[in-house]
Amino acid sequence: MKKELQFISIGLLIAMLIAFIPGSAQNMLIKKTIRNESATRDQQTGKVSTHHFYTNDSSPRANCDTLNLYQYKHNWSHIDYSVTATPAHSLGFVNGVNTYGDKIKANYFPNTGGNTYVLGAMISFAHGYSTNPAKTVTVNVWTVSAGNPGSVLASKTITMQQIMTDVNGNYFTVVHFDNPVLVSGAAFFVGVDFSTLDWATFHDSLNIESNLDTETSPSAVWEYQSDNTWYQYTTTGSWPLSISLAILPFMSNVPADAQFTQSTGSTCSGYPVVLNAATSVQNSVHWVLQGATPSTSNIVNPTVTYANAGTFPIKLYVWGGSCNNEDSLITSITIAASPVPGATATPPAICVGGSSTLNASNGIAYQWNGYPPSPTATQSVSPTSTTVYTVTVTGSNGCSASQSITLIVHTLPNANATANPSWICVGSSALLTASAGMTSYLWSPGGSTNAAFSASPSTTTIYSVTVVDGNGCSGTDTAKVIVDPCTGINEASSDQDFSIIPNPSNGIIHLLFVKQPGNNDCINIYNLEGQLVYKEAILQNSMMLDLSALPKGIYYFRLLTREQTSVRKIILQ
């Protein structure tokens, strides 16, 4: 359809001149001779971006650029063109949906900076509304074919809800393509396909802001009309406007690229999974690891584990490349449940010489450290000291898990039985004692259950005591009580060479020797265990010995001379 400028009145011409005054609002009538309608335009304020994008100057730049950003900020008027009608906007918008059924608006970019990739774009929508905010429009990148948009290189769908929110907040609508779009330095188109919107029935509203007529020459805008044909603005059948749309593509020669490897795509809970983003083009990374420990990471090659079974996403965000832009990659990992070993020791503590049964569960094969693999879950052990046992359990799905338990081994108590004195005369008594602090005692013979008791055996007797400590461990010891008739002790030896007076004694005894002692004659006194407890040289034939420091009991008195050796038994009481 042919669209051309309509002759306008002097008053309207004055209004058009006023339109060039910054900050003023103007209307411009544009005649479509076939459609017999006109268009008005409202001047807009600049949009606000909540994002920080690549810096730009007045010249296109390689490596990193936002095309037309400088012109939008410094050189362009911000215009909202609509089809003239009463009431206003009742026939729709020039750069969006309208009564003529226009489907797509696209902007041409010569890419004079020679950038290699399109990363996304900022788009300034002057209007956006739908009674169904879930409706979507599509932002496309096209090749150039015979001067028109050709094949689609990339698409990104956005909802009307997003556009409505951005319009109400006076924000750009920001689009990032899922992957950098390769244009290899060639010209391309970026535009919006809004053919899903319905002006005639639902009055869905959408209009892309532009600059003022003649601020771009030739016109950079193409439209895809209801006849499924592309038209450049200012050509026959299209709008007579030489403009650019407020579509500002992000360009880069070296875009960020999120790439990573994972050590496995499926594994068992508790097993390590190694991730590595070393092949990414990045300056920094951020992992989001649902269900993993850790759940996030900022290092290039984290190692994580999963506690539960299921399928979990692994997402990597990177920032890098010549624009430090963002890219992301998502994969998944499937986790099978590892068995829960449930290791126990029954009992959990034993005494030296005792045994415990180790047990595990939830598997088809079990291996305790120090023992071969077995389908049997139990193992009997008798360690001599506290020991850590580890069991590896393998489940029917092939997953394994290990658990360690500590079997405590208590030492046996020292019963330490003693008899005092260990030698008695018939009719006397000895005090039998065992280690204090035990929980129970049992003497035999006698049956006493005390730590100490007095015994008066008529013959030499060995007493045994069994003690039990607070850990339930038992120990046994014995003590011997020697019983002597204590008759004829004071008699001299057969040769009557010396006398011991008195015997028994309280420790002070007198020695009388018949013969004069010679050199090296001496006295040795031994206890019943054969230990030497006293020694003295014989210097004269009458001596007094003080043995009161020795414990009460029986001792052997040994006389050593150059002529003979004599042994007597003495009692200290």
By C-alpha distance, which of 78, 101, 81, 77 is closest to 89? 81
Could you write out the DSSP letters of every residue in 48-95? Answer: B-SS------SS--SSEEETTHHHHHHT---EEEEEE-SSTTTTBBTT
CA 420 to chain centre: 66
Asked if 85 and 195 touch (Cβ cutoff 8 Å), the reply is: no
Give me the long-range contacts of 485-491 (CB less than 8 A, separation at least 24): 485/425, 485/426, 486/425, 486/426, 486/571, 489/569, 489/570, 489/571
> Which two structure tokens, joined as six digits, stand for 152?
């689609």
Average pLDDT, the chain: 86
Give the mean pLDDT of 400-421. Answer: 94
> Which two structure tokens, joined as six digits, stand for 275?
């991730």
Asked if 96 and 205 touch (Cβ cutoff 8 Å), the reply is: yes
Strands 522-527 and 461-468: unpaired
> Which two structure tokens, joined as six digits, stand for 345?
């020791």
d(CA 482, CA 490): 19
Asked if 202 and 131 touch (Cβ cutoff 8 Å), the reply is: yes
Give the mean pLDDT of 396-418. Answer: 96
pLDDT of residue 218: 97
d(CA 33, CA 76): 28
Whole-Å CA distances, 115 to 109, 111, 183, 327, 567: 11, 7, 8, 18, 119
- With bands split at pLDDT 50, 70 and 90, how would you rate the model's confidence at 403? very high
Q: Is the model more confident about 195 or about 496?
A: 195
Give the mean pLDDT of 167-178. Answer: 94
Q: What is the pLDDT of residues 486-518, one digit of tens each?
A: 664 444 333 467 888 998 899 999 988 888 888
Token pair 């008899």 is found at: 419
Q: What is the pLDDT of residues 323-381, one digit of tens each?
A: 888 889 999 999 999 999 999 999 999 999 999 999 999 999 999 998 888 899 999 99
By C-alpha distance, which of 357, 358, 408, 413 is closest to 384? 408
Strands 474-484 and 461-468: antiparallel
Asked if 243 and 221 touch (Cβ cutoff 8 Å), the reply is: yes
Residue type, 478: T
pLDDT of residue 517: 83
Q: What is the pLDDT of residues 542-567, one digit of tens each?
A: 889 999 999 988 888 888 887 777 88
Q: What is the pLDDT of residues 273-293, one digit of tens each?
A: 999 999 999 999 999 999 999
Strands 474-484 and 423-425: parallel
d(CA 445, CA 424): 17
Provide the percentage of residues in the chain whose pLDDT is more than 70: 87
pLDDT of residue 42: 54
Give the mean pLDDT of 105-132. Answer: 94
Torsion of CA 360, 366, 368, 371, to 10 degrees: 140
By C-alpha distance, which of 538, 433, 413 is closest to 476? 413
Q: What is the pLDDT of residues 7-33, one digit of tens each?
A: 222 222 223 222 333 232 233 333 222
Report the phi/psi class of residue 196: left, alpha or beta, with left for phi > 0 and alpha for psi in -120 to 50: alpha
User: How many angstroms separate the first and last alpha carbons of the chain?
Assistant: 141
CA 477 to chain centre: 56
> What domains are defined for the chain?
44-78+102-252 (2.60.120), 261-336 (2.60.40.10), 344-410 (2.60.40.10), 418-484 (2.60.40.10), 498-572 (2.60.40.3080)
> Does the predicted model carry a pTM greater than 0.75?
no
